[in-house]
Structures are given as structure tokens and as C-alpha cells.
Amino acid sequence: MFKSVLIANRGEIALRVARTARRLGMRVIAVHSEADSAAPFVTFADEAYCIGPAPARESYLVADRILEVAKKAGAECIHPGYGFLSENPEFAEAVEAAGIAFVGPPASAMRAMGLKDAAKALVEKASVPVVPGYHGTNQDAAFLKGEADRIGYPVLIKAVAGGGGKGMRKVEAPEAFAEALASCQREAASSFGDARVLIEKYVTAPRHVEVQIFGDKHGNVIHFFERDCSMQRRHQKVIEEAPAPGMNAETRAAFGKAAVEAGKAVGYVGAGTVEFIADGSRGLRPDGFYFMEMNTRLQVEHPVTECITGFDLVELQFRAAFGEKLPVTQADLAINGHAVEARLYAEEPERGFLPSTGTLHALEFPEGAGIRIDSGVVEGGAVTPFYDPMIAKVIAHGATRDEALDRLKAALENTIVAGPKTNTRFLAALIDHADFRAGKLDTGLIERNLQALGAVEQAPDVAMIVAGALALAAEEKARLEAVAEARSSMADDPFSVADGFALAPGRIGHIDVLVEGEKHRVVCDAALEEATGEGLRGGDFTLVAADDALYVIEKGRQLKIARPDPLDVSFDDHHGDAGGLVKSPMHGKLVALFVNEGDEVEKGQRVAIVEAMKMEHPVLAPRAGRIEGIAFEAGAQLGEGARILTVVEHVEA
């Protein structure tokens, strides 16, 4: 076995690979950006080297710098994790040319499967079914529009070099094609450095089922069963599970055979995932699925396969790269129970799933039977705008699907995150959705049920506000009592007594607080009634004090409650008008601005696009009016809440 490994990645996957490497007796070498200098994967490693500034293109994507470190540190192999350089054939070749083993497939397999159009042509020759579409080289917009018209709507526009749900757009009608194509090409160029796309027929009620394959350098290729990844939003996976609900033995054998044939067609070595799409409206059938793509790397969702098979896939990667034969045959493998993984993200489902950044003031995960947590952050760390906002993968394993789902929901509801907003409550609601529980899955389930899943704008929870306000009031009372006690030796005077005395008729009957920056007034009588009469829903709140504020958390939902400035009299001022301000919803780059000074716009009209974490987010006009005060040009970096422009409402003379 290798004696040392350099991990060319960061975060959760770098830490996960490092743990297996350490167990196998390897010296672990980490590379990191300036932003990650104190990250858990860095502190866990035996050695760590800074390779550049925070942006990935200046650090984790600089192959020459990583190779230089590998040579300097004497690394025997490089594990690329997933993302970044993991599917870059030039990097794999450079690693091997430097006399270092690459823990992954040969560059030839990456090239064969790395471009979706070429991959489809290749697997067709191996008798693997593919989705109807255009996979050619002509990238003329009018030609692509014609191909979409020929295929028939709805269609999918997909980046040729895409992955991870980026560079993908569903188009329902011909008139929407041009705009979707331009957006897809921009995102593809930004994420992959390649704007080329292909067009595919959109499968009705699609099920996304993928098969984990594994190959060695001795010509053996087997599969480790399937995973269902149909729970997606904007083509990003949300919940993954293994095995796939509704999969019988005959259909499993057909999926597995097709995946293995695809792997053999490219001489595959190591861990890979062959992704298929099936028509969910007809159930999973041996003749009802199509090849989509192959990921020539480890997948984010690999833990569910590890749970049901009992194998450490990262260990198998190392052994395959070292030249060992696979330790098992297909006949040796069996499925043990059911496993489900939820991706816990720093994002706000109530605001269109916008990424949320900031310090993790509290981070606590539950422990228990069948629960596994894969995370790359710790309490006191931060979620930054530079990388994927995943906080953790929460994985549950049980004897049955229902047991695994019950364990996963309980784990999510007992997870505490204070600081960035998260999708915890949304995930718990999805697990309890009737169709999901019944195994009636397709990739559109989430989008059809956003309101039922709580992924729409909601008023702040009154009980949570009251809990926070009362806690702040109690804290203030304790402070005043301490001040009064300290002054007790002074001459008696009414102003040193913390009893609410005021030179006015009656005491103030309310508590003023800021809830997520918005002003709220809690009437004391109502607060006391809520607290004593209903017990604040049993008092099931977690309170975390940080940043001169209080984070109130209940089963994944979070409210930040703070005291207002005592000199701020605007709680009674309703004359200010901020309704026309257009602000950046997050830290990001202003990639497009669609209006000029003086332009007239309608409410809901798209005025700009902000890109964050390689995803585009449209910015809409909050009302009809005239554009004034454009503060930035396209290309500018924006902070969260930065004013982009103002929409001035027309006033009748």
C-alpha cells in the first residue's frame, strides 16, 4: 500500500479521504487556500501547504502548484476527491508523468466519458440505451433551436462538460429557448471553462438512478448496486438513497449490466458512477431507462453505498490505484438494509434557496444507531462565498427504508446550526412528504411541492420571536439588577432601582426587537400569555448568543433576534420608503445588468443576475417604476445586501 497521499481537494471530502488514508497507515498531505488555513481537513493532516488565495481558480484548480507540492512533500499518490481536478485528464496525466500514482481512472477513460456527447456515442456502441437528442458539435444558436424544435418540447439544454447540476436548463416552449441557452452557456463557461452544450428530450416524470461501478487494473469491473437520486432541485441532488425504491431483481440486473458494460468500454479503473434516467410514471423496468452520463470519480453520495454493502469505497480506490485486484466478485455482494443521505446546506429555502454565509456560532450533530455525519466544518468556522455551501452530509442506515427515514428525520431535527441559515427544516419536511415516503419519486417532486415543504416566503414564527424577546428582556433585567446592586452603597435614589419605575403613567408594555434586521414590537401581555398559556410550544427552543444577538432555533428553523439601537426612534416611523431598493441577495458577482438609468420596468421584471458559488440567481424589480441610482457595473463583486439600484415609483401629480 502507498505510504503517503496528497489530497488535492478541500472540505468534507478531503477530511473523509484523509481518515481512510490514516487508517491504512499513510502520511496525509493537505493543500489549502488562504481561506482554508484553519479548516478541519488541514489540521487533521500530517502536513499542509498553502497553494493560493481563496478563489478556487487561484488555488485548488492550479494543477502545477499542486504537483509542485506533491513532489516537495514526497507524495506517492494523489487523491483528487470530487469536483475541482478530479475529472481533469490533463491533471491525471501530469501526475502519472511526475512518477506519482493518480487515485482515479486513466485519463483515457476521463476523456471518453468527460464530454456528454462523446460518452453517449461510445455507450451506444456498447448497446447501452441513450436519451434521444442532439449530441453533435454545431453550437450555432439558431441550429440548436432547430434541433430542440425537432426533438419536441420540453427539452434539456446541458453543458457538454457539465456536472453537479450546473450548466443545465429545462425549456418548456420554443420562445424560452434563446434565453435559456445563453444562460446555460454562461454558467457552463464559468463552471467548466467550456460553453458547449447538447440538447436532450426531457423525460416525463424522470427518475434519476445511478449505479456505482468499480474496476481494477486486471480487467475486472463490477457494480455495487444502485442509488436513487431523484430528489433534486434545479438539477442539484438533495436526498440520495440506496437501494432505489421499487427496484426489483430483474431490473437491478439490467441496470447493473448496462453500467458494467459502459465501464468496460473505456477500460475503467477505480470508482465510477454511471447515471441513468427512467420514466417514473411507468415504474422502474428493465427496458425503461437511458444512459445520461458517467462520473469518473467518487460521488458525494457514496456513503449510502458504503452503508448497504459494508465496503469503504475510498479504501478500494487506493487499493485499485496500487494495482491490487478487487477483493470481491459480483456474486459476493449483497444489499444490507437501506441508507439515506441528506445534504445539509447553508441556504435559505424560504428565499429561493439562496446561499447563506457567515460564522458557525453553534454546530452540533446528534449521535445514535445508524447515524453517520460527514462534515468538513466545525463550530467557530465559517461558510464562505468561495466554495460549495454544504455544511454536512447526514446519513442514516436502517433495516428498512422507513427505519432509515425515521432515523434521518430525527437526526436532522436534533441538529443545531446557528449563524448561516440552513435547509434543515426543508429536508425534514421532504422526508415526511407522502409521495416521498411512498416511494413515488421523480425529479420534479420538490418543485411541485415547494409550498408544502416550506420553501416559500413565510412570516417569522411568533413563538420564536417571543422566546427570543423574553430571553433578551431577562438578560437586560439581570444586567440592570447587577448595576443596581453595584450602586446599592450609593445614596438612595429612585433611578438606581431596577423595578421598571418611570416618571410616566404606567410601565412600558412592550419589548422592541430586531428580527432578521426587521423591526418587531412584542406586546408584553401577549408574550406572557404565549409563554405561560401555551408553554412556547413546550419550550423546544435552542438559544445561542453571538454577535450581540440571540439565535433562536427550533427543529432546523432559525431566527436572529437582537436589541435595537436605544437611540433609534424609527419603531414608530413608517414614513421611510425602502420598497424600491434592489439589493444583492448574497455575496457574489454581478454577471449581468439588464437596465439603464431612466428605464421603465414592471414589477417582477428581471433587472440583473448575481452569480454565487457558480450558480446564477436572477434579481427582480420589486415594483413598477423608473430605474435610478445604478451603483455597480456588470462584473462587480457585491456584498450581501449591497444596493444595486433603485426603482422609483411613479407618483400621481
Helix 89-97 and helix 107-114, axial crossing angle in degrees, nearest 10: 170
Non-local (6+) Cβ contacts of 257 within 8 A are: none
> How many Å separate Cα 91 from the centre of its chain?
26
Matching residue, cell 415504474: 283
Q: Render 216-275 in DSSP notation, one character per residue.
A: -TTS-EEEEEEEEEEEEETTEEEEEEES-TT--HHHHHHHHHHHHHHHHHTT--EEEEEE
Q: Is 16 a catalytic residue?
A: no
Amino acid, single-letter form, for residue 455: A
Q: Kindly report the number of other CB atoms within 10 A of residue 587's CB atom.
A: 21
Say if strands 637-638 and 588-593 run parallel, antiparallel, or are unpaired. antiparallel
> What phi, psi does 213 have (nearest 5°)?
-110, 165
Grid cell, residue 327, equals 477483493
> What phi, psi does 525 have (nearest 5°)?
-60, -45
Matching residue, cell 456528454: 116
Name the catalytic one among 297, 343, 372, 557: 297
CB distance 39 to 26 below 8 Å: no
Say if strands 510-515 and 518-523 run parallel, antiparallel, or are unpaired. antiparallel
Whole-number Å distance between alpha carbons of 559 and 581 = 23
> What phi, psi does 118 have (nearest 5°)?
-65, -35
Q: Render 325-382 in DSSP notation, one character per residue.
A: PPS--GGG----SEEEEEEEESEEGGGTTEE--EE-SEEE----TTEEEEES--TT-E
Is residue 482 exposed (0-12), middle (13-18) or buried (19+ Cβ within 10 Å)?
A: exposed
Compute the radius of gyration of the chain from its Cα atoms: 27
CB distance 156 to 168 below 8 Å: yes
SS3 content of the chain, % helix, strand, coil (to 5): 30, 30, 40
Non-local (6+) Cβ contacts of 144 within 8 A are: 134, 138, 157, 177, 181, 197, 199
* H-state helical runs in 462-567: 462-486, 524-533, 535-539
> What phi, psi does 421 have (nearest 5°)?
-70, 155
**Known catalytic residues?**
297
